[in-house]
Chain A
Amino acid sequence: SAVISQKPSRDICQRGTSLTIQCQVDSQVTMMFWYRQQPGQSLTLIATANQGSEATYESGFVIDKFPISRPNLTFSTLTVSNMSPEDSSIYLCSVGQRNRGYTFGSGTRLTVV
């Protein structure tokens, strides 16, 4: 299965600022996925990123708040914009294929103060 490197592993940010999270995969993949894991809550899909097209966002998530880039088949970034304490969470990227399962990065633990 693919190996995913995610940076930063953790960060503490001031409210109103933005943080960009990077996800690097060791092989070319068509789709990359971004998830959020809030304390005590289920992992929730934010958006799906295909190379060469706009990301597809799930209900409750918007591009202005979570812009995503997907410049090539091994890399993606997720930006958390204009942060508030409610954005404190773990953000995870994932790759995989239907019929084979999905692999996750180690996550970015974000605290907004």
Chain B
Amino acid sequence: QKEVEQDPGPLSVPEGAIVSLNCTYSNSAFQYFMWYRQYSRKGPELLMYTYSSGNKEDGRFTAQVDKSSKYISLFIRDSQPSDSATYLCAMYQGGSEKLVFGKGTKLTVNP
């Protein structure tokens, strides 16, 4: 079993839709969770950073962590064509600087 599982998609939604992206993980030692957005031929860009269970909101983006279920989510409200990208989840343990990534989900928002 991979440490981090992420459905690669592709996911295609109409403009204005609410998008839900998810990752599951197997290592209960993971404490820090991140979501990155990666446009084609660009490096990953940090979107959200969370620690422990709960929700964190930043504009149209909400990150959710459920440690009991080992499940994290990223919600995008009022999705825009400019949100079309690959979204990567990443996490790491306390005391470590090694990020473990999901494979990424490719999202297309259609005008």
Contacts and interface: CB of A to CB of B under 8 A. Distances in A.
A78 to B, nearest CB: 14
B61 to A, nearest CB: 14
Interface string B22-33: 000000000010
Interface string A38-51: 00111111001000
Given A43-B88, A98-B32, A101-B34, A92 B43 contact: yes
Interface stretch (A12-20, A62-70, A80-88, A104-112): A104-112
27 contacts: A31-B97, A33-B97, A33-B99, A40-B8, A42-B4, A42-B102, A43-B90, A43-B99, A48-B98, A58-B98, A92-B44, A96-B97, A98-B92, A98-B94, A98-B97, A99-B32, A100-B49, A101-B34, A101-B46, A102-B34, A102-B99, A103-B46, A104-B36, A104-B43, A104-B44, A106-B43, A107-B43
Interface of A: 1, 4, 6, 31, 33, 35, 40-45, 48, 58, 92, 94, 96, 98-107, 109
